[in-house]
Amino acid sequence: MTRRTKIADLIRTEPLNTEVLVKGWVKAFRNNQFLALNDGSCAQNLQVVVDFENTDPSLIERIKFGASVGARGQLLESQGKGQRIEVKADEIYIYGDCNPDEYPLQPKKQTLEFLREIAHLRFRTNTFSAVFRIRHALAYAIHKFFNDRGFYYLHTPIITASDAEGAGEMFRVTTLPFDKTPRTENGEVDFKEDFFRRSTNLTVSGQLEAELGAMALGQVYTFGPTFRAENSNTTRHLAEFWMIEPEVAFNDLNDNMDLAEDMLRYVIQYALDNCADDLKILEERLIEEEKSKPQDQRSEMNLSDKLRFVVDNRFERITYTEAIHILKNSNQNKKGKFQFPVEGWGTDLQSEHERYLVEKHFKKPVILTNYPAEIKAFYMRQDEAKEGVPGPTVSAMDILFPGIGEIVGGSQREERLERLVNRMREMHIPEEELYWYLDTRRFGSCEHAGFGLGFERLVLFVTGMSNIRDVIAFPRYPGNAEF
């Protein structure tokens, strides 16, 4: 009995003049004879030649766009143009009909906005099947990168009682009834009656827990979902997204930058090496999209150029202070072309500033370091103004990419207990809530560093998509929790 063979395997091995069984979904059916079949294993369709003269007309009538079908026959060298191989079908099977009058997808170009409304079906389009094959490849490459370098994959909790960022924009986790919420004598919610006997929420980051692992295992990384209850209805924000967060004991800021740069170059090169057909589909889509934009809004680089821009250039490393000097004295700033003018030191850089540094000034990826402490998190190591005296900056770093701005944020962590406690007090972060985190500084502390990479930001960059909701299967954002 012939077993099903994936189309990707047939294209790769081309076992000509053998009987094969293929199964997939109809992408096109011409002249009641030429069937384009795709099974999701690759971007390419396989042509199946149907013997319409000897096939039941009622079966041929059921071969519609979107239908699930199978074909058994000989794999031959194609006589027509556009493909090297084809299957000359001896038998055709219909597994699932698809009524074209009811099917929301049609064999024509669909807008991304429309496809977001039917996200449960958009995998079936060429664009989104390409996006999610690339997403898989990037996830695999990340795991391979860290595994090959001796990192341990740490699963940090989804439900936590801490706010790693101090932002306070978190989703609450509770089993308390909404209509009869128990209250204390002061009228506050009595979380002692809740499942965990305390207030809990969905995690915003696995970093703090990863630091605990690194202080014993040496080097660990997390790769899991994180949640932000920000009411941000933008093309760059999600309420649920995935984060990669390595933490390494005995690493300083320079080691941290080296690791992040190596990882980014590695995973993007992996996509270039292994996703050529899918990247081609997305590049062609992007070229068509660019044609509809005014000339001054078009990108100077196509998709493949952007990816090579990263892997072929060493990242420029400059301090925040140097970046402010460049931006403040740029023609862009002097002529008022920045939406957010750069006034001076202490400015919180916006995406337009970051892109200017990458795309206009240095023309290569940029790593900014040593940010003002007041705009960064409590756990970042304070730089020294002079020995023993904290300066105004912290050992932080952000990596900036073309078209997207910040893609990685990280720092050397504050390993000195007294300094860390002082920063927590300045930022009104309760010490008792993070006693376990402070214990790593009390017992065998050492310098260590790590960073966070929003996985969807990476997928957005590699695929060339413009909306972050299009690079995660089922996006969560304000007002939307479908599927």
Last residue of a domain, one of 183, 201, 219: 201
Question: Domain for residue 376, yes or no?
Answer: yes
Of 207, 300, 297, 209, nearest in space to 256 by CA? 207
For residue range 378-417, list pLDDT tens digits in order.
Answer: 999 999 987 777 899 999 999 999 988 999 999 999 999 9
* In a domain? residue 60: yes
| Residue 205, Cβ density class (10 Å: 0-12 exposed, 13-18 middle, ≥19 buried) | buried
Write down the pTM of the prediction: 0.94
Q: State residue 343 phi and psi, 5-degree precision.
A: -85, -35
Q: What is the mean pLDDT of residues 319-329?
A: 97
Q: SS3 helix, strand, coil % of the chain, rounded to 5?
A: 35, 25, 40
Q: Residue 102 carries which DSSP code?
A: T
- Residue pair 264/127 in contact by the 8 Å Cβ criterion: no
- CATH code assigned at 49: 2.40.50.140
**pLDDT of res. 442:** 97
**Residue 381 DSSP class:** P
Scored b (16 or more CB within 10 A) or e, 315-331 reads bbbbebeebbebbeebe
1 pLDDT band, cuts 50/70/90, is low
Give residue 450's pLDDT band: very low, low, confident or very high (50, 70, 90): very high
Joined together, the tokens standing for residue 282 give 């997305």
How far apart are the C-alpha atoms of 435 and 419, rounded to whole Å?
15
Nearest residue to 59 (alpha-carbon basis) of 23, 37, 32: 32
Domain boundary among 186, 201, 216: 201
Rounded Cα distance, 344 and 469, in Å: 34
Q: Are residues 22 and 144 in the same domain?
A: no
CA 153-455-288 angle, 5° bins:
150
* Among 99, 217, 242, residue whose Cα is nearest residue 158: 242
> For the sheet containing 159-160, what is the strand order?
159-160, 200-202, 172-173
Q: Give the domain range for residue 295.
A: 124-169+204-315+364-470
Indicate whether 415 and 281 sit together in one domain. Answer: yes
- What values do phi and psi take at 34, rounded to 5? -105, 110
Cβ burial of 55 (10 Å; 0-12, 13-18, 19+) is middle
DSSP tag of 361: I
Q: What is the DSSP letter of 107?
A: S
* Whether residues 215 and 275 fall in one domain: yes
pLDDT at residue 333 above 70?
yes
* Residue of 451, 481, 445, 19 whose CA lies nearest to 240: 481
CB proximity list for 199: less than 8 A, separation 6 or greater: 161, 172, 189, 191
Q: Are residues 158 and 177 in the same domain?
A: no
pLDDT per residue as tens digits for the range 16-64: 999 999 999 999 999 999 999 999 999 999 999 999 999 999 999 999 9
Supply 107's token pair: 């064999």
CA distance 240 to 474: 9
Residue 342's nearest CA partner among 361, 358, 319, 324 is: 324
Number of domains in the chain: 3
Cβ burial 207-224 (10 Å sphere, 16+ → b, else e): bbbbbbbbbeebbbbbbb
CB 71 within 8 A of CB 55: no
**Percent of the chain surpassing pLDDT 90:** 83
421 in the same domain as 292: yes
Is 221 found in the same domain as 195? Answer: no
**Is residue 221 located within the same domain as residue 131?**
yes
- Mean per-residue pLDDT, 460-468: 95
Instruction: State how far the Cα of 62 lies from the Cα of 69, in Å rounded to an integer.
Output: 10
**Quick check: helix, strand or coil at residue 399?**
strand
Q: Supply the pLDDT for residue 389.
A: 79
Residue 419: CB atoms within 10 Å: 14
Do residues 164 and 181 share a domain?
Answer: no
Residue 261 lies in a domain: yes
Residue 167 has pLDDT above 70, yes or no: no
Kindly state the helix (H) or strand (E) to which residue 452 belongs, with its residue range: strand 448-454
What is the average pLDDT across 348-357? 94
pLDDT for 165: 64
CATH of the domain at 145: 3.30.930.10
Asked if residue 300 has pLDDT above 90, the reply is no
Position 179 confidence tier, pLDDT thresholds 50, 70, 90? confident
Does residue 128 sit in the same domain as residue 247? yes
Q: Tokens 């699963």 belong to which residue?
A: 155
290 and 159: one domain? yes
Average the pLDDT over 276-292 and give the result.
92
* Structure confidence by residue, pLDDT tens digits, 107-164: 888 899 999 999 999 999 999 999 999 999 999 999 999 999 999 999 999 999 887 6
**Does residue 394 share a domain with residue 307?**
yes
Euclidean distance between CA atoms 25 and 268, whole angstroms: 30
Q: What is the pLDDT of residue 166?
A: 58
Cβ atoms < 10 Å from Cβ of 184: 11
Q: How many DSSP H helices and E strands does the chain contain?
A: 14, 17
Determine, yes or no, domain membership for 192.
yes
- Confirm whether 325 is domain-assigned: no
Considering the domain architecture, whether residues 253 and 179 belong to the same structural domain is answered as: no
Question: How high is the pLDDT of residue 233?
Answer: 83
196 belongs to a structural domain: yes
- Give a yes or no: residue 341 inside a domain: no
Q: What is the pLDDT of residues 181-209, one digit of tens each?
A: 999 989 899 999 999 999 999 999 999 99
pLDDT per position as a tens digit, 218-237: 999 999 999 999 888 888 88
Residue 72 belongs to a domain: yes
User: For the chain, what is the mean pLDDT?
Assistant: 94
